[in-house]
Structure 1
């Protein structure tokens, strides 16, 4: 029994964590996946890259990361995916479910890049360099007969070809012959001495799908025939002489037969797609999935990323970490040398880190880099860090970075931070990563310092990995005296 396309998608889509949306935004994860999305070839592939999110279990993460590694291996060999651009096709696949639906020629041709992509990907089947990708590709069908039928039946301009059916070829030969016969007869009429003085021009025209001759408006009664149109200036009447009217009727009848035969052909091809709808949908999903992997691989190659380890010990180690958005910004301004890589290690006996330093000293960038690398790793992506980077399997990441002043709710900067931190304290637990920028600032230093120490101690009690930045002396001293904290 075949699965419906929608159920195939539901079955194959990996489950993701409902990660804190506020955190995703302030860590600029949306900008990172948009950077990766530019490398996708297909429209649905780009959309899926942009919607990348952390996954639920280490096995899914490891599999995705491994598949990206295989794509990068193929890229290093100078090999291309062979995927061609196509737009979203799920709506068309849903649309053809009812038997009375017929797609037009352009809609039918829109499936060809999918079939071509599937066929090209089959070239990687059983390739020892990409055994994981090969497992996905082995189930791709390619539907060569449907592909051949569409190519034989519809040209690039969306016109049904003469070769689509023998009957259509016969009809079109009849149309061509009929048009030529009428034109020969009309050319003869244009040369008749009795007619020449009444003509506005000496050529055969077409009006309302009928071949006609242009006659001066004042002499339209001098050429016996049917009036089909008058020029915009009102000076020319377009007449179909009675002598060729029967031929015009025959031609019109043939054109009607042509339309019926074209419709029959489009209906037949739509039926072929309908019969294989589930399999085509399955191929579509797999091609898009590989396009996603290939796009992330190309993005990874651009930044020379590495595949991180995902551990269950709650340890975080980042070697030479960089934030992709900062890397892109500095690169655009030719200031790459200003990017200072981040090294950090925590989790084995030290669950919290306090980053100190002057304003504009890079503390905020460090927090965003830590958060971004964790989000990328948990999403199965490679990360902009060196080998040896390892990331804990987290359930959520919470961040309070930047000026959170709310005009709408009439909250001061300090009040907004406290509101956000209260929410973080409520939701955080073991398996959470908490990132707080300038903890305790915005109020009296002594009061802010005391409050910050209490917040940090509470996060430790809840078992969350915590990284905070500050320039408060009280918090610096607390980091040196409190077990499990490092500065």
Structure 2
């Protein structure tokens, strides 16, 4: 990029803002080296990284980057065999810890932020080095006493000798014999020797070595001869202490040298993430957004703001490259033409540097191979250049270098010389740049350029808005309309006599006057239309808001309805499961009661009491579940089933009926009693039922529909296994399973089943035999054939419906309490 262009567009100030956001000196170096890239893939990747980091900061609040130091010189010194100072080692430990923390953080968010997570591969963990430095050094950079066993002993020796020397010196300075000789009762150090301050007049009397004197010469710092030997031992002990400290630091430095490559790679990774985080923080501070970069030379900025302007900044909209490649901006001074020019250029440079730009989401920025800007007056007294010459020199330089796919920004093109010549030069320059397919934005006051832009295809007019009532610029760019200088309006508002204004208008010529007035009328019409457009946009926004609110409420209502339906279904399902469990429990209880009654010679509740209890439990279940909701039957199910008959039950013994509560076929055994109940034989059970709960069977029971209860009972046979394996079960559990299995087998219509009990100790086989002996469903049983299991299995023949139960001796049912 052209260095002068970077300077006039104030790119360095953007880098200064970016450097403030960087946390480490290595990241600040990257900021200093930053320059706009012309590689589309590189720019796209940089912007994607910035966007990821911005999203991460918005979500998490921060990225752990504390503790990063520039350790390159220290690592290099250690690699050359040098011994590092404690402060350098602490910086290395802090940087190693930063690498560990950032690596863990990035790996935790790698699913949502994959580009940033890639840097985790550069960040290594140096736990051993961290621990070694932490064990050897304090946070203030002092070597710990226990850094090595030798250092422990050396420092103990130093403390002991230091105490001895101090004790002896304190005895001297507090002694009556020496008190008059001592200037002050203190112990001081001179030339690394412990001394006492002695008055100079007692130099001959005080036996010792002079190490120093005060500036006035009145005080001598003397080492008493009695402590010279102790001081010598102390100095030797201190020397050994320093040697051991150096050995500790050398050992740590060697560890750093072994990890030099990994440490430097991790530092690069930390610097890279810190640099990306700085770009994201700058995006936050500017309330910026990621631009959409393109190779087609299209610039489309929406609500763009110059990033270096302070205070309330009026955003502008700018377009270039789509329908026209050259834009000519006209308007009064201080109207914002130059700011618009700089905004386009600086935001382009920022985007090509991987930075977000202060504009609305979706703004488009082109990738340019060259960016040139001639903005401002850079007169050179030394070179004796005027304003025109200064501008023209820069334009000449631009024209020598410019290529297609370049962005050229020209402020006050052709100014500083004769207007007619300047306008001609400006039109010629714009024509050449346009023919080169460069993207050009130029500002001017020349009226001829307005007509030129109207007449040339691919060149468009634009203007900055100006309020003639308040004489204030509005800083908004209008594309498609040329601007007026508003010189007459400003002069009139400032009080210039009307006669002067009339004379000036007459001198301009009728054509020019009509043109300017026409432009002013067009601007007024445009402002009115813009106001109407804004009103329509506000109404549209309100409609969109109301529509969104309606859709939200509708979705919320639908969600609540679905939730209520789901809850109702879950509650109904729970009630149904509870009812099924109650029914299963009721059936098991009834079976258990019947078995208990058989065991106790029918002592206890009889069939009538059991049936009454079952009815009560059924009523409770119906009460808990509630009445069923009416359901519209399917068309094919609306007809009455074939087995239903319009005839009433006669209630005579021998009549075959359908027992609705049990959903079973039965035969009436007695006439109705006073309560309207009859006894019905259902399978092996004899129950009482109300006549109203009975239905006569149709003529052909055998042709019942497949889904009728009769068909269900017949198909139950296929669902009951012809054998039961009890091997491995305890006797009590096995007998319970056996009794339940015999009930199911009889209902399932099986004539013969096999019970596998194994040989074992014989306890299970005996218990099975005793149970079969007294069970009412069993007609007879026998050991299985050899190929069927032999003595380890028993074949049982079940009693047919008309077959009487086997006779059981009274003692065949032992008391369970025995």
Question: What TM-score comes out, normalization by structure 2 length?
Answer: 0.54
Question: In the alignment, is the contact (CA less than 8 A) between 1:84 and 1:116 conserved in 2?
Answer: no
Aligned to 1:435: 409
Aligned to 2:13: 31
User: Displacement, 1:486?
Assistant: 0.9
Aligned to 1:104: 85
**Correspondences of 1:79-478 after superposition (within 5 Å):** 79-84=61-66, 86-99=68-81, 101-122=82-103, 123-127=105-109, 128-326=111-309, 330-331=310-311, 336=312, 339-478=313-452
Q: Within 1, Cα distance between the matches of 2:180 and 2:400?
A: 96
Q: Within 1, Cα distance between the matches of 2:322 and 2:217?
A: 92
RMSD: 1.8
Instruction: Provide the secondary structure at the position in 2 that maps to 1:80.
Output: coil
Instruction: Provide the secondary structure at the position in 2 that maps to 1:380.
Output: coil
Instruction: Provide the secondary structure at the position in 2 that maps to 1:345.
Output: strand
Q: Within 1, Cα distance between the matches of 2:175 and 2:379?
A: 89
Structure 1 unmatched ranges of 5 or more = 1-18
Instruction: Provide the secondary structure at the position in 2 that maps to 1:387.
Output: coil
Instruction: Provide the secondary structure at the position in 2 that maps to 1:138.
Output: helix
Question: In the alignment, is the contact (CA less than 8 A) between 1:61 and 1:379 conserved in 2?
Answer: yes
Question: In the alignment, is the contact (CA less than 8 A) between 1:153 and 1:161 conserved in 2?
Answer: yes
User: Displacement, 1:161?
Assistant: 2.5
Instruction: Provide the secondary structure at the position in 1 that maps to 2:204.
Output: helix
Q: Which of structures 1 and 2 has the bigger CA Rg?
A: 2
Q: Within 2, Cα distance between the matches of 1:58 and 1:166?
A: 61
288-297 vs 153-162, which moves further: 153-162
Q: Within 2, Cα distance between the matches of 1:224 and 1:180?
A: 22
User: Displacement, 1:87?
Assistant: 5.0
Q: 1:453 to 1:87 in 2, by over 3 A?
A: same
1:63 matched to 2:63: no
Q: Within 2, Cα distance between the matches of 1:472 and 1:95?
A: 65
Instruction: Provide the secondary structure at the position in 1 that maps to 2:21.
Output: coil
Aligned to 1:7: none
Q: Within 2, Cα distance between the matches of 1:81 and 1:225?
A: 64
449-458 vs 77-86, which moves further: 77-86
Aligned to 1:20: 2
Q: Within 1, Cα distance between the matches of 2:76 and 2:216?
A: 50
The one of the two structures with greater contact order (alpha-carbon pairs below 8 A, sep at least 6) is 1
User: Which among 3, 12, 22 is matched to residue 40 of structure 1?
Assistant: 22
Q: Within 2, Cα distance between the matches of 1:201 and 1:54?
A: 71
229-238 vs 37-46, which moves further: 229-238
Structure 2 unmatched ranges of 5 or more = 462-818
Question: In the alignment, is the contact (CA less than 8 A) between 1:211 and 1:240 conserved in 2?
Answer: yes
Q: Within 2, Cα distance between the matches of 1:103 and 1:44?
A: 20
User: Displacement, 1:160?
Assistant: 2.4
For residues 206-247 of structure 1, give each alpha carbon's deviation from its aligned partner in whole angstroms, at most 9, with x where no partner exists: 222222222222223323222222223322222222222221
Q: Which stretches of structure 1, 4 residues or more, deviate above 4 A after TM superposition?
A: none
Question: In the alignment, is the contact (CA less than 8 A) between 1:152 and 1:164 conserved in 2?
Answer: yes
Aligned to 1:13: none
For residues 224-272 of structure 1, give each alpha carbon's deviation from its aligned partner in whole angstroms, at most 9, with x where no partner exists: 2222222233222222222222211111001111222222222222222
Q: Within 2, Cα distance between the matches of 1:90 and 1:397?
A: 36
Question: In the alignment, is the contact (CA less than 8 A) between 2:36 and 2:352 conserved in 1?
Answer: yes
Q: Within 1, Cα distance between the matches of 2:307 and 2:29?
A: 19
Corresponding pairs, count: 459
Question: In the alignment, is the contact (CA less than 8 A) between 1:90 and 1:281 conserved in 2?
Answer: yes
Q: Within 1, Cα distance between the matches of 2:6 and 2:78?
A: 38
Question: What TM-score comes out, normalization by structure 1 length?
Answer: 0.90
361-370 vs 310-319, which moves further: 310-319
Q: Within 2, Cα distance between the matches of 1:362 and 1:85?
A: 45
Q: Within 1, Cα distance between the matches of 2:9 and 2:264?
A: 35
Q: Within 1, Cα distance between the matches of 2:115 and 2:68?
A: 24
User: Displacement, 1:78?
Assistant: 4.1
